[in-house]
């Protein structure tokens, strides 16, 4: 496959104001990517440890997904939500075999998957729990940007936006079982959380807490919902974020890494929980054959025998390097698991400054690359590289970061 580099075009040439200003974006327009590398329109290149926001499981423009998409595009893209298509059935069956959750509803995004999980829990409450509908969620959690998922989120700053919120999401504190227990009422139907809070800055739910939650849910007949939009599909070094702990959810949501850059998510649930009746839930594009083909290509890659051991090896390498930097700076060790890691910086408000400096190293003649990292919190950098990042790419990222923090 030969890639033709697009012609050099200065940033000022682009009518960027044609896009709504919903994010603070740096002055670069990305035009090409390959593996762990991105190029902008002015010829700079970047080692990308953001990867579409923990999305590009196999890096940029992976051959396996490009081939799956082009083959599927020439065969069948969309039959419509009122019909079966072979790829959706295949994807649902693969997810069931891999997760033990027998059924799925395929979505177009992570938020839509969580929205579906919330609806399924509420329907379960209606059918089996006398109309119980409250879902306990957590401070600093992030579940998406639809109205219901914003309401479920405990992200500071969300409270004031787009009022009034959707009701029924009391907030507990992560790793504080008593704070969950205190919110359980006859109206409670579920507890929903991320095994590792990603947007909060990579904060892990402890194994004891997850086990305690499972027992609490069992005791009260509540559903345990894991939002694995960020932690699923190998990101943490196991197939699921909960794999290492062994606590099983009743409902699990996926997004991000499932499509490896193609928008697709899923709500998975135990058979006994699946109480949607025909007409309750749907969407025009849900489970279209095109995105399902991409997700199947991702699953093929991630379930190959040597894939997760490689993720674990790169994780150990990145963590050891970050730990050395942290120790030198007198900071606590690296947080997170697999290739979802975070480094605490010495100064408050240092993260954006460091991320900008790393990006701005990139030279127009391509002789020095930039490095893209995510300033997830004012004092914290998050690393979420492609799961197939190489040993030398991790070494380069660490060397550049070490320099920038010297
Ligand atoms: C990104 C994310 C979402 C939202 O997914 P979208 O595809 O952006 O809608 C939900 N939950 C978690 C844990 C996420 O990281």
pLDDT digits (tens, 9 = 90+) for 84-101: 999 999 999 999 999 999
Percent of the chain's residues with pLDDT above 90: 97
Any atom of ligand 1 within 6 Å of the Cβ of 255: yes
- Determine the 3-state secondary structure of 162 from DSSP: coil
With cut-offs at 50, 70 and 90, classify the pLDDT of residue 7: confident
Per-residue pLDDT for 6 more than 80?
no
Q: How far is the CA of 207 from the centre of ligand 1 (A)?
A: 22
Catalytic: which of 227, 250, 276, 307?
Answer: 227
Each domain of the chain, given as residue ranges in start order, spans: 76-302
Q: Determine the Cα–Cα distance for residues 333 and 75; give it in Å rounded to an integer.
A: 50
Q: Which residues are bridge partners to 137 per DSSP?
A: 171
Q: At what angle do helices 289-302 and 86-99 cross, to 10 degrees?
A: 30
Q: At what angle do helices 289-302 and 63-73 cross, to 10 degrees?
A: 150
Whole-number pLDDT of residue 2: 55
Any atom of ligand 1 within 6 Å of the Cβ of 154: no
Q: How far is the CA of 5 from the centre of ligand 1 (A)?
A: 32
With cut-offs at 50, 70 and 90, classify the pLDDT of residue 159: confident
With cut-offs at 50, 70 and 90, classify the pLDDT of residue 4: low
Q: Determine the Cα–Cα distance for residues 154 and 152; give it in Å rounded to an integer.
A: 7
Q: Determine the Cα–Cα distance for residues 192 and 226; give it in Å rounded to an integer.
A: 6
Q: What is the mean pLDDT of residues 279-305?
A: 97
Any atom of ligand 1 within 6 Å of the Cβ of 388: no
Computed over its alpha carbons, how large is the radius of gyration of the chain?
Answer: 21
Any atom of ligand 1 within 6 Å of the Cβ of 226: no
Any atom of ligand 1 within 6 Å of the Cβ of 115: no
Q: What is the mean pLDDT of residues 322-327?
A: 98
Alpha-carbon separation of residue 296 from 76, 79, 91 (angstroms): 15, 18, 6
Q: How far is the CA of 181 from the centre of ligand 1 (A)?
A: 26
Looking at ligand 1, which atom is closest to the CA of residue 227?
13
Q: Residue 155 catalytic?
A: no
pLDDT tens-digit map of 217-251: 999 999 999 999 999 999 999 999 999 999 999 99
Per-residue pLDDT for 1 more than 80?
no
Any atom of ligand 1 within 6 Å of the Cβ of 228: no
Q: Residue 227 catalytic?
A: yes
Sheet bearing 30-34, strands edge to edge: 30-34, 37-40, 45-48, 370-372
- Determine the 3-state secondary structure of 271 from DSSP: helix
Distant-in-sequence, close-in-space partners of 333: CB < 8 Å, separation ≥ 6: 323, 326, 327
Counting Cβ atoms within 10 Å, is residue 404 exposed (0-12), middle (13-18) or buried (19+)? middle
Whole-number pLDDT of residue 5: 66
Whole-number pLDDT of residue 365: 86
- Determine the 3-state secondary structure of 179 from DSSP: helix
Catalytic: which of 124, 138, 142, 226?
Answer: 142
Any atom of ligand 1 within 6 Å of the Cβ of 41: no
DSSP label at 35? B
Q: How far is the CA of 260 from the centre of ligand 1 (A)?
A: 14
pLDDT tens-digit map of 24-74: 999 999 999 999 999 999 999 999 999 999 999 999 999 999 999 999 999
Fold observed for domain 76-302: 3.40.640
Cα–Cα nearest to 126, from 13, 251, 276, 341? 276
Q: Residue 209 catalytic?
A: no
Cα–Cα nearest to 31, from 42, 19, 40? 40
Any atom of ligand 1 within 6 Å of the Cβ of 229: yes
DSSP secondary structure letters along 273-322: G--PPTTSS--TTTT-HHHHHHHHHHHHHHTSTTHHHHHHHHHHHHHHHH
Whole-number pLDDT of residue 286: 97
Cα–Cα nearest to 233, from 224, 242, 222? 242
Looking at ligand 1, which atom is closest to the CA of residue 144?
4
Q: Are strands 380-383 and 340-344 parallel, antiparallel or unpaired?
A: antiparallel
Looking at ligand 1, which atom is closest to the CA of residue 111?
9
Whole-number pLDDT of residue 366: 83
Q: Are strands 223-227 and 188-193 parallel, antiparallel or unpaired?
A: parallel
């Amino acid at each position: 496959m030969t890639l033709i580099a697009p012609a050099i075009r200065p940033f000022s040439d682009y009518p960027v104001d044609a896009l709504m200003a919903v994010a603070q974006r740096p002055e670069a327009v990305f035009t090409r990517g390959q593996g762990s590398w991105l190029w902008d329109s002015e010829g700079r290149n970047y080692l990308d440890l953001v990867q579409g926001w923990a999305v590009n499981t196999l890096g940029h423009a992976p051959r396996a997904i490009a081939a799956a998409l082009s083959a599927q595009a020439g065969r069948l893209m969309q039959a419509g939500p009122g019909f079966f298509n072979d790829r959706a059935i295949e994807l649902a069956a693969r997810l069931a075999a891999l997760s033990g959750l027998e059924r799925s509803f395929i979505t177009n995004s992570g938020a839509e998957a969580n929205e579906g999980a919330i609806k399924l829990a509420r329907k379960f409450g209606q059918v089996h729990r006398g109309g119980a509908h409250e879902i306990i969620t957590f401070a600093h959690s992030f579940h998406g940007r639809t109205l219901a998922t914003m309401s479920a989120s405990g992200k500071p700053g969300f409270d004031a936006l787009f009022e009034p919120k959707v009701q029924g999401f009391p907030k507990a504190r992560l790793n504080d079982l008593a704070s969950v227990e205190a919110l359980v009422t006859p109206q409670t139907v579920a507890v929903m959380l991320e095994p590792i809070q990603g947007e909060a800055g990579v904060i892990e739910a402890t194994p004891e807490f997850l086990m305690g939650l499972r027992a609490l849910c069992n005791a009260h007949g509540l559903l345990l919902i894991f939002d694995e939009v960020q932690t699923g599909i190998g990101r943490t070094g196991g197939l699921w974020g909960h794999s290492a702990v062994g606590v099983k959810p009743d409902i699990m949501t996926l997004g991000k890494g499932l499509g490896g850059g193609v928008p697709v998510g899923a709500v998975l649930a135990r058979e006994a929980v699946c109480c949607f009746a025909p007409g309750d839930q749907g969407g025009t594009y849900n489970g279209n054959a095109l995105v399902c083909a991409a997700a199947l290509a991702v699953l093929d890659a991630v379930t190959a025998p040597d894939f997760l051991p490689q993720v674990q090896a790169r994780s150990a390498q990145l963590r050891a390097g970050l730990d050395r930097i942290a120790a030198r700076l007198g900071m606590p060790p690296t947080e997170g698991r697999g290739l979802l890691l975070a480094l605490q910086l010495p100064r408050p408000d240092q993260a954006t400054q460091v991320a900008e400096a790393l990006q701005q190293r990139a030279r127009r003649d391509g002789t020095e690359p930039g490095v893209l990292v995510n300033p997830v919190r004012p004092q914290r950098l998050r690393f979420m590289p492609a799961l197939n990042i190489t040993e030398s790419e991790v070494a380069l990222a660490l060397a550049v970061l070490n320099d920038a923090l010297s």
